[in-house]
Amino acid sequence: DGGITQSPKYLFRKEGQNVTLSCEQNLNHDAMYWYRQDPGQGLRLIYYSQIVNDFQKGDIAEGYSVSREKKESFPLTVTSAQKNPTAFYLCASASGETQYFGPGTRLLVL
Amino acid sequence: QQQVKQSPQSLIVQKGGISIINCAYENTAFDYFPWYQQFPGKGPALLIAIRPDVSEKKEGRFTISFNKSAKQFSLHIMDSQPGDSATYFCAASRMDSSYKLIFGSGTRLLVRP
């Protein structure tokens, strides 16, 4: 069953804590992306990776970090430096121009 | 120049009616324009997409109309159904910018039975 999986579905962060969101794809796509979605707003790009071991900052990278050690995996870490992390986080992968999205992770702050 | 402006913010249509959502862009270097459909708590799903060398594309009840000179494109949903009730996002990207998607702010569509 091909697709993009994100885990967990819900994640709670305590003050000063780093948390990591998982994104895995078995579509054999080279490119992967992380977006943040706030209520009533469009998606904003956090980081993207065109190839393994390489990634670039998007429009709102501050307070986030990523790694791309494997083609299938693109985890996102929300660091304590991100002061307003409550949002819906979406991972996508792409072959060419078409991006396919995962089901999302909702991050809440305790 | 990187913005994509989407309207209306919300839309209510009767079952069987036509839903129309509009988007405008500034950057003429954009060369790919997809529309995504998102249900609450789910990830967006690609609905239909168009390139600027085509003025219209139709897939089932969904049609994109593209006006290159006006830098506008729109989504038309014919015979709208309650199951179409969702949030719709337009987007734009460029091949020379790694196809990073620039999203509109979304339109919340409600189709009444």
B108 by Cβ neighbours in 10 Å (0-12 / 13-18 / 19+) ranks as: middle
Average pLDDT of chain B? Answer: 94
Nearest Cα of chain B lies from the Cα of A87 at a distance, in angstroms, of 11
Q: Do B44 and A48 touch (CB under 8 A)?
A: no
Put simply, the answer to whether A104 touches B43 (Cβ < 8 Å) is yes
Q: Cβ distance B14 to B112 under 8 Å?
A: yes
**Shortest CB distance from B99 goes to which of A58, A97, A106?**
A97
The answer to whether residues A94 and B99 touch, using CB atoms and an 8 Å cutoff, is yes
**Residue B65: per-residue pLDDT:** 96
Q: State the pLDDT at residue B31.
A: 92
What amino acid occupies position B45? Answer: A
Nearest to A42 among B32, B42, B104 (CB): B104
Q: Give percent of chain A above pLDDT 70.
A: 98
Place of tokens 């709208």: B80
Q: In sequence order, what are the residues at sequence separation of 6 or more whose Cβ sits closer than 8 angstroms to the Cβ of residue B40?
A: none
pLDDT score, position B88: 98
CA-based nearest residue to A48, from A72, A27, A19, A74? A74
Testing the interface with A: which of B101, B107, B108 to mutate, by most A Cβ within 10 A? B101
- Letter string b/e over residues B61-97, b meaning 16 or more CB atoms within 10 A of that residue's CB: ebbbbbeeeebebbbbbeebeeebbbbbbbbbbbeee
Question: Closest partner residue to B101 among A4, A99, A104, by Cβ?
Answer: A99
How many CA atoms does the CB half-sphere of A46 hold within 13 Å?
A: 28
CA distance B111 to B113: 7
CB atoms A101 and B44 under 8 Å: yes
Task: Check residues A41 and A93 and name the one with the higher pLDDT.
Answer: A93
Give the mean pLDDT of A40-51: 92
Query: Above 80 in pLDDT, residue A67?
Result: yes
For range A46-68, the mean pLDDT: 96
The string of pLDDT tens digits covering residues B26-77 is 999 999 999 999 999 999 999 999 999 999 999 999 999 999 999 999 999 9
More confident residue, A1 or A35: A35
Shortest distance between the Cα of B16 and any Cα of chain A, in A, equals: 26
Q: What percent of chain A has pLDDT over 90?
A: 82
Q: How far apart are CA A106 and CA A9, in angstroms?
A: 6
Q: CB distance A104–B105 less than 8 Å?
A: no
pLDDT: which is higher, B79 or A84: B79
B45:A48 CB<8 A: no
DSSP state of A107: E
Which pLDDT score is estimated for A2? 64
B69: which residues sit within 8 A by CB, 6+ positions away?
A: none
State the pLDDT confidence band at B97, using cuts at 50, 70 and 90: confident
What local confidence, expressed as pLDDT, does residue A15 receive?
A: 84
List Cα–Cα distances, A48 to A42, A43, B42, B80, B88, in angstroms: 17, 13, 21, 35, 23
The rounded distance, in Å, linking the Cα atoms of B14 and B79 is: 9
